[in-house]
């Protein structure tokens, strides 16, 4: 016999698993510090590659000027500016990634707590059904 409460719970669980819960379940496999550290490292690598790509493109765009002035340019000063700008950008992105992924992890845990409550409720229905079947037999 169909139990509509059980069907409703299973539908909610399936919708969560197929929708936004898919990512939440992946996130739940990590400890908070490991997840945040992994995401911050990915952010740092991406920012570094992007910064180097921008420098390369900027250098290619101004290649003629650089070649003409190569003897008179103060490369130490330019390197200091580029390194300082890199450090500032990296600090901003890492701070943002740390805060953002921390909030995302906490939100994911909140969603998963609702998911686990529904699973416990469904398990309770199944235990009651198995107890009823044993009592009838």
* pLDDT tens by residue, 90-132: 999 999 999 999 999 998 888 888 878 888 888 887 787 776 6
pLDDT for 111 equals 82
- Domain spans of the chain, in order of start: 35-120
**pLDDT (tens digit per residue) in 41-85:** 999 999 999 999 999 999 999 999 989 998 998 999 999 999 999
Q: Distance between CA 120 and CA 132 in Å, rounded?
A: 18
CA angle (98, 102, 106) in 5-degree steps: 175
Q: Which residue has the tokens 């409460």?
A: 5
pLDDT for 78 equals 93
pLDDT for 136 equals 64
pLDDT for 57 equals 97
pLDDT for 1 equals 46
Q: pLDDT band for position 135 (50/70/90)? A: low
pLDDT for 96 equals 97
Are the C-beta atoms of 122 and 14 separated by less than 8 Å? no
pTM for the whole structure: 0.73
Using DSSP's 3-state secondary structure scheme, residue 58 falls into helix
Q: Distance between CA 54 and CA 58 in Å, rounded?
A: 6
Whether residue 5 has pLDDT greater than 80: no
Environment class of 102 (CB within 10 Å of its CB; exposed 0-12, middle 13-18, buried 19+): middle
């Amino acid at each position: 016999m169909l139990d509509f409460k059980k069907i409703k719970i299973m539908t909610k669980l399936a919708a969560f698993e197929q929708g936004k819960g898919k990512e939440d379940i992946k996130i739940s496999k990590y400890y908070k510090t490991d997840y945040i550290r992994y995401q911050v490292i990915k952010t740092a690598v991406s920012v570094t590659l992007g910064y180097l790509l921008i420098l390369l493109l900027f250098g290619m765009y101004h290649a003629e000027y650089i070649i003409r002035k190569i003897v008179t340019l103060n490369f130490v000063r330019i390197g200091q500016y580029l390194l300082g700008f890199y450090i500032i950008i990296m600090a901003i992105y890492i701070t943002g990634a740390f805060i953002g992924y921390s909030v995302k992890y906490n939100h994911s845990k909140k969603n998963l707590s609702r998911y686990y409550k529904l699973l416990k409720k469904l398990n309770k229905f199944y235990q009651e059904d198995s107890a009823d079947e044993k009592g009838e037999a």
